[in-house]
């Protein structure tokens, strides 16, 4: 078996800007070895940044999205350093080299650097007969732009390692741990904390990375100076006929994705949600915060796809299509439910959706403290991005929110809340202009204290106090569904609504249900029998009965930035590949895939969201819930872009 030791490689041509002129940068003797010019030959390699088509609101059959392509910001395109790894056609490691000088000087959309290789190193690969077979001439050139320190260390270790390590080098994964305040141990993947140091990128298509070396060692005598470097990316040096017309450049893609957001409401992130029977608007929801949940802690440096979602048929750097899967490092654990069954969320995700306490999983204050939370006003006050290259329709106002790691699930049916990357929106109930009555008063005068009224939502109607609920139920009559849900089916009395004395009319005393399992009976036990102590079991019993009867309860609270009020939450699971069929999930419908820009806008809210307290929720979010169900709370518009763009309109 012929081997190369470490060498200095080179040249990259990086397409960044269409306005500059070609310039050759002399890499000279850069690299870990001080190469003697008398023992040197030179070569170069071309690298193409992700500026071509390939977005996905829907993934086209041959790959790419139907939403267009975003060129990206200058700082998202900059290349500070390049790591090249040469491997044989079985992907086994041969050698590597890095160039770090002047890569960021752009001319005519191209940068060219030349590196040297020692003849003695090259001679070792050509062997005693000074020649390569046709198969040995074919190599693959793996390109990493702005590589992390961990990746460089791994490649250095592999270069000195065993054949087994060299055969498995490409399965290396990148890891990141980030805290809710934005502190990260590997922000280098998105150019550092200020995003200016260069985004990690890797080869995107191995069909364009196959190159061919000269057949004999003697031929290298023609490439012994910088101005006569062997053009490894030249058309004549493509390894197969399929690659001859690819222009020689090796395409790369960013290793992370980006989330953008715009205000999709009629005005000020505020939506009309609740009206009365006469059609008068009562309640609006204003979205005030948004939080990222379930961001993956690990991803492969080199993308891979699978036609089945299994681990034994992965294609390294293969093209994503409309019916295959991008594979993640924890594909097996997602496929067999290990993460959810073992409640091992913190091992796999930053900003976990739920809080695990022993055997209990819940979305509570501790869970919300785990999320990466931003004020919507801050996001909309950030950097705007309205690139004309992707816009399918007029859609200005998108702002860059943050960068996100890849998270995919290798099964349509296993796309679940506990393991999918999502965005949680926090909304505040606001009394509509001109609204009056007990509901408007409750919303306007909320203090966040336990003495505030509990609001009850049922069939998208909202009531203030249980007395109002039972009065409406009595008015609708014993045959109504509301009546049976309030009073139960095992009653032996006729419920009566309480009425105060009015003039000569005497007060009417309330008669409560005698069905001990009904919400009405349990509310009477809690509220009227002086069981108001915090945490009293009678309140918990009433809440359980009420939510079982499909009531959603909203209790007031205080927000540090927005004060007291009634708040609710909307959960959006990031859509990558929309099948257009609500309630039926398709492969890769919910995912985050590298080198995509997900453009989010909440365009409609049709109902009140999930309550702050999980015990008040008849349909609490559960990690085992599928990402797509029949009930729809909110519409989100998403536009996804290389940056491939995906536009997602979110509707709740």
Question: CA-CA distance, 645 to 391, in Å (whole number)?
Answer: 9
pLDDT averaged per 10 residues in sequence order, the chain, 652 residues: 40 34 30 52 64 48 66 83 86 81 50 59 77 90 92 92 93 97 97 95 87 86 77 62 52 92 96 92 97 98 96 92 93 96 98 96 96 98 71 69 98 96 98 93 96 92 95 95 95 93 89 96 87 72 96 97 97 90 88 94 95 94 87 48 65 76
CB count within 10 Å of CB 105 equals 11
CA 467-471-475 angle, 5° bins: 170
Q: Which two tokens stand for residue 113?
A: 């650097």
Q: What is the DSSP string of 341-402?
A: HTT-HHHHEES-SSEEETTEEE-SHHHHHHSEEEEHHHHHTS-B---TTT-SS-----EEEE
pLDDT for residue 61: 61
Distance, C-alpha 590 to centroid of its chain: 9
Cβ atoms of 116 and 35 closer than 8 Å: yes
Nearest to 113 by CA among 42, 19, 208: 42
Q: What is the sign, positive or negative, of the torsion defined by CA atoms of 48, 49, 51, 54?
A: positive
Q: Tell me the CB-side half-sphere exposure of residue 226, using CA atoms within 13 A.
A: 15
Cα maximum dimension of the chain: 118
How many of the other CB atoms lie within 10 Å of CB of 131? 15
User: Do the strands 567-573 and 634-640 form a parallel or antiparallel pair, or are they unpaired?
Assistant: unpaired
Contact predicate 463/456, CB 8 Å: yes
- Please tell me whether residue 340 adopts helix, strand or coil conformation: helix
Q: Please report which helix (H) or strand (E) contains residue 122, including its range.
A: helix 119-126
What integer pLDDT is reported at residue 631 of this predicted model?
55
pLDDT for the residue 9: 40
Contact by Cβ (8 Å): 7, 117: yes
Distance CA(397)–CA(383), nearest Å, equals 10
Structure tokens at 262: 């715009």
Judge residue 89's burial from the number of C-beta atoms within 10 Å of its C-beta, 0-12 exposed, 13-18 middle, 19 or more buried.
middle
Instruction: Determine the Cα–Cα distance for residues 469 and 513; give it in Å rounded to an integer.
Output: 13
DSSP class per residue in 124-175: HHHTTTTB--HHHHEEEEEEEES--HHHHHHHHHHHTS-HHHHHSGGG-EEE
DSSP category for residue 491: -
Catalogue the E-assigned strands of 34-123: 40-44, 47-48, 82-87, 93-99, 112-113, 115-118
Angle made by CA atoms 522, 527, 531, in degrees to the nearest 5: 95
CA angle at 230 for the pair 228 and 234, rounded to the nearest 5°? 120
Domains of the chain: 24-255 (2.60.40.2580), 262-427+562-651 (no CATH), 460-550 (no CATH)
pLDDT at residue 57, as a whole number? 53
Tokens of 587: 């492969």
């Amino acid at each position: 078996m012929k081997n190369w030791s470490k060498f200095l490689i080179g040249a990259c041509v990086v397409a960044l800007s269409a306005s500059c002129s070609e310039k050759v940068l002399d890499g000279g003797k850069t690299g870990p070895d001080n190469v003697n010019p008398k023992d040197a030959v030179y070569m170069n390699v071309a690298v193409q940044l992700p500026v071509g088509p390939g977005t996905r609101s829907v993934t086209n059959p041959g790959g790419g999205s139907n939403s267009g392509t975003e060129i990206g910001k200058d700082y998202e395109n900059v290349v500070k350093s390049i790591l090249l790894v040469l491997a044989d056609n079985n992907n086994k490691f041969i050698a590597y080299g890095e160039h770090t000088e002047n890569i960021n000087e752009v001319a005519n959309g191209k940068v060219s650097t030349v590196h040297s290789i020692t003849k003695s190193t090259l001679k070792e690969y050509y062997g005693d007969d000074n020649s390569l077979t046709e198969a040995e001439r074919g190599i693959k050139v793996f390109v990493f732009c702005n590589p992390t320190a961990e990746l460089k260390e791994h490649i250095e270790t592999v270069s000195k390692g065993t054949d087994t390590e060299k055969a498995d080098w490409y399965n290396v994964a990148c890891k990141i741990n980030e805290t809710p305040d934005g502190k990260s141990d590997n922000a280098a993947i998105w150019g550092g904390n200020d995003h200016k140091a260069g985004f990690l990128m890797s080869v995107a298509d191995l069909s364009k990375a196959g190159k061919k070396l000269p057949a004999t060692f003697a031929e290298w005598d023609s490439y012994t100076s910088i101005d006569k470097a062997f053009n490894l990316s030249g058309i004549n040096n493509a390894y197969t006929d399929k690659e001859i017309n690819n222009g020689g450049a090796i395409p790369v893609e960013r290793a992370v994705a980006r989330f953008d957001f715009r205000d999709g409401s009629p005005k000020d992130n505020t939506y009309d949600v609740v009206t009365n029977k006469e059609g008068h608007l009562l309640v609006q929801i204003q979205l005030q915060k948004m939080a990222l949940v379930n961001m993956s802690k690990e991803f492969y440096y080199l993308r891979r796809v699978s036609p089945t979602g299994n681990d034994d048929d992965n294609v390294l750097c293969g093209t994503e299509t409309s019916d295959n899967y991008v594979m993640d490092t924890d594909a097996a654990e997602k496929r067999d439910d290990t993460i959810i069954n073992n409640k091992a969320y913190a091992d796999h995700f930053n900003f976990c959706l739920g809080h695990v306490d022993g055997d209990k999983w819940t979305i509570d204050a501790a869970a919300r403290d785990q999320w990466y939370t931003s004020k919507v006003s801050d996001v909309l006050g950030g950097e705007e991005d309205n690139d004309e290259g992707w816009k399918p329709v007029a859609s200005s106002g998108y702002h860059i929110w943050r960068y996100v790691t890849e998270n995919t699930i290798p099964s349509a049916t296993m796309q679940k809340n506990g393991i999918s990357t999502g965005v949680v929106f926090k909304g505040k109930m606001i009394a509509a202009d001109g609204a009056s009555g007990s509901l408007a008063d409750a919303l306007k005068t909320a203090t966040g204290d336990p003495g505030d009224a509990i609001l009850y939502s049922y069939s998208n109607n909202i009531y203030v106090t249980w007395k109002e609920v039972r009065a409406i139920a009595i008015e609708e009559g014993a045959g109504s569904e509301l009546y049976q849900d309030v009073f139960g089916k095992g009653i032996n009395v006729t419920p009566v609504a309480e009425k105060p004395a009015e003039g000569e009319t005497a007060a009417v005393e309330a008669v409560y249900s005698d069905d001990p399992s009904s919400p009405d009976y349990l509310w009477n036990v809690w509220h009227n029998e002086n069981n108001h102590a915090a945490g009293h079991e009678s309140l918990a019993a009433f809440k359980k009965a009420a939510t079982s009867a499909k009531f959603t309860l909203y209790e007031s609270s205080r927000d540090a930035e927005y004060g007291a009020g009634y708040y609710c939450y909307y959960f959006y699971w990031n859509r990558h590949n929309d099948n257009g069929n609500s309630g039926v999930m398709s492969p890769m419908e919910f995912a985050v895939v590298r080198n995509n820009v997900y453009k989010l806008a909440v365009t409609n809210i049709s109902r009140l969201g999930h309550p702050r307290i999980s015990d008040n929720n008849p349909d609490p979010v559960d990690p085992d819930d599928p990402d797509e169900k029949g009930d729809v709370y909110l519409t989100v518009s998403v536009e996804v872009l290389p940056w491939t763009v995906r536009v997602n309109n979110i509707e709740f």
